[in-house]
Structure 1
Amino acid sequence: MIRPTPIIPTRYCIAALLLLLACAGRLCAEAPATSSAVLQPYVDKHQLAGAVAMVIDKDKVLSVEAVGHADIAAGRPMKPDAMFWIASQSKPMTSVAVMMLVDEGKIALNDPVEKYLPEFKGQMVVAERDKDHLLLRKPAHPITVREVLSHMSGLPFKSAAEEPTLDALPLAAAVRTYAMTPLETEPGTAYKYSNAGINTAARILEVVSGTKYEDFMQQRLFTPLGMKDTTFWPNEEQAARIATSYRPDAARTNLSPFPISQLIYPLTDRTRRFPMPAGGLFSTAADTAAFCRMLLNRGQLDGKRYLSEAAIDEISKRQTPTTVKESYGLGFAVGPDTFGHGGAHATNMEIRPARGIAIIWMVQHGGFPGEGKNVQGAFKNWAIEKFGRE
């Protein structure tokens, strides 16, 4: 006897089809296995020269990929140990060093800078300025340590003495020129991104610790963290690993190499080049990862504490008032659930505590042709989808 085929109600067929489509959609939306699958198309289109892209958690490296070239003309491939000028990523590293002395009670964030650097006593602020005259007045209060670390001091980006490069003056001499320069805005009222402010904080570190800034960084931060390639003066071997910087060519359809014009060459020169705390460091993805792991671990790494948890809270929370649009901590740019910093040639590090990861992006670009401007965001989205836990 032939049994009739049961008739399945239409509503169940539709539900099953929708479930099947949803599952297929999830499979299609799944992140590529490696970041190179995301990045290589930009290299192929000459929109990205090369990159070292890394994702870490508080314990280990989750992913590292090197794509493209460190030097296109020479055919030198990008490698994981490539060196990069990290520029303003030096700011958070300097800030961490200053906060070590805050933890030790040797510096107070709300102290006036002039308490540690008497040359700042009597500093004035611009009241009026036009092409013919400049009117100065006394500020409502002297600039503070907190304000120089959060770009709220009113100090300029740099002084006129720091031309044409940023590394030609010893730190003490550079900071004296800031003390002689009028503040551009009333302290605490306006955000003014300032190399001068971070350099001033580093000079306070020198005076308080009795140690040269660069020696303090090496002894208290770089060496203990195992940051063997982080330096103001790359040696010959390290210099050979520095990735060439690129920017769009005249037609904005390809890449053209260009030098780091803010620094003196050769970069190995320890006689004419001086450490610049706000932007002078060279580093690698691995070294930057060690620094970020310490931050993800709330100030400690491999059994050694570098910063108190209170200090981590200070650097990673918004210090700028709600009256300004910029969100900045102490040496760190701060988002709703992130803190980190970028550099002038497009390097970046971003710590995401809630997701338990840090994202490290090492390139050397002064702009990107075509859709290259989207490449960092594409990598970041991949990293969050692949590794970021809710």
Structure 2
Amino acid sequence: MKSHIRFLTILILVATVFPQNIASAGTPESAVSVLQPYVDRHELAGAVALVADKDQILSVETVGFADLEGGKAMPADAMFWIASQSKGMTATAVMMLVDEGKISLDDPVEKYLPEFKGQMVIAEKDDNHVLLRKPSHPITIREVLNHVSGLPFKSVMEVPTLDALPLEAAVRSYAMTPLQTEPGTHYQYSNAGINTAARILEVVSGKKYEDFMQERLFDPLGMKDTTFWPNAAQVARLAKSYRPDASKTDLAEFPLNQLTYPLTDTAHRFPMPAGGLFSTAQDTAIFCQMLLNGGEFKGKHYLSEAAFKELTTRQTPETVKQSYGLGLAVGPDWFGHGGAHATNMEIRPEDGIVTIWMVQHGGFPGKGKEAQGAFKNWARQRYGK
């Protein structure tokens, strides 16, 4: 009997001193063992999977290929178009101006962008007519950041690619477009809204949006590979994009058809705040570590406690099902964002970790779309508190 009590005492002590080891018992040491089957079945081309806490990178693993046809293995420093993950970074920059008292979230957009004065909302619409009326209130900065402004996804002028218009011209086209719904009542995922907030940032700060991002966010954080215009060396590290082939059983390469080529062209490509950034897993992790730490990174404060809370808690009304903060999706115990080609960043404060999932996929054959969830489950079991 005494030996049983002694054994139980030892177990309790081990669990107290090494709780993570107990929690991760039976969890594979490597994410590769979880992800490799998807590659072997041609359901996933390749991925960089990263886990970090607020202080350090805990794990960076690669699987599969950056270039299937060329047989190029996925490198840890591969570049990816992170698309709508840009939204959270743009919103963070906007919140810096809120912290400085230069703007308020509930200010009307037209206070800074007069072209929005008199914007109407669609009251009725069918194939034969459109009836416009005055909205109950002008759209606000908060509403353009949380997708309830009524602005459309994009304007009819943003063709054929999303990066073809200068920011000022793109935003002016939104002002000329009637609101699709009454402000504050419906969720309409909107690149136009995030871009509008970025244009306000330009007007208020007196800096080009891309310069503000570089000087106030990317450079101070040390995000050396995050850019709207990847240079030749970075393009060489860009993972190719894949989607299901005609048979839906294998993978086929396709271009980033929402963007203008060449990607290095600074004369004809313009920074798109809602989805134009390229980055690496490591760079994106730095941004997420700052958020995991409440707006601070390596002793430097990027956001106040109040600004961080606004950014990362639900801002959408309870009458809509979508839970969205400011430039970030918000879940019950996480916040983060995905990108058009299946990249993802997720911050989990209770677990004390961030997960970065870097792939370039416009869809998956078979069970390929389940790979991200498999990685996240592994990360939480292996490193979560």
For normalisation by structure 1, the TM-score amounts to 0.93
Deviation at 1:28, TM superposition (A): 10
The residue aligned with 2:237 is 241
Out of 370, 375, 379, the position equivalent to 1:379 is 375
Deviation at 1:158, TM superposition (A): 0.1
The residue aligned with 1:6 is none
Aligned partners of 2:208, 2:27: CA distance in 1, in Å? 47
Counterparts of 1:357-368 in structure 2 under 5 Å? 357-368=353-364
Unmatched 5+ stretches in structure 2: 1-21
Given the alignment of the two structures, is residue 116 of structure 1 paired with residue 112 of structure 2, yes or no?
Answer: yes
Aligned partners of 2:48, 2:24: CA distance in 1, in Å? 26
The residue aligned with 2:63 is 67
Choose 1 or 2 for highest CA Rg: 1
Counterparts of 1:1-390 in structure 2 under 5 Å? 30-389=26-385
Deviation at 1:303, TM superposition (A): 1.1
Q: Deviations over 1:22-58 (max 9, x none)?
A: xxxx999711001011111111111100000000000
Aligned partners of 2:367, 2:206: CA distance in 1, in Å? 49
Aligned partners of 1:28, 1:358: CA distance in 2, in Å? 17
Aligned partners of 1:189, 1:296: CA distance in 2, in Å? 30
Secondary structure, counterpart of 1:386 in structure 2: helix
Q: Deviations over 1:107-133 (max 9, x none)?
A: 100000000100000000000000111
Aligned partners of 1:29, 1:366: CA distance in 2, in Å? 35
Aligned partners of 2:126, 2:305: CA distance in 1, in Å? 47
Q: Deviations over 1:228-269 (max 9, x none)?
A: 000000000000000000001111111000001110000000
Letter in 1 for 2:72: R
Aligned partners of 1:310, 1:34: CA distance in 2, in Å? 38
What number of residue pairs does the alignment pair up? 368
Aligned partners of 2:297, 2:270: CA distance in 1, in Å? 30
Q: How much identity, in percent, do the aligned residues show?
A: 74
Secondary structure, counterpart of 1:378 in structure 2: helix
Q: Deviations over 1:253-291 (max 9, x none)?
A: 110000011100000000000000000000000000110
How much is the aligned-residue C-alpha RMSD, in angstroms?
1.6
Unmatched 5+ stretches in structure 1: 1-25
Aligned partners of 2:336, 2:23: CA distance in 1, in Å? 32
Deviation at 1:76, TM superposition (A): 1.0
Assess if the C-alpha contact under 8 Å between 2:121 and 2:134 holds in 1: yes
Change in Cα spacing, 1:28 to 1:287, as seen in structure 2 (3 Å) is closer
Aligned partners of 1:204, 1:29: CA distance in 2, in Å? 50
The residue aligned with 1:5 is none
Assess if the C-alpha contact under 8 Å between 2:312 and 2:330 holds in 1: yes
Aligned partners of 2:314, 2:26: CA distance in 1, in Å? 34
Moved more, 194-203 or 298-307: 298-307
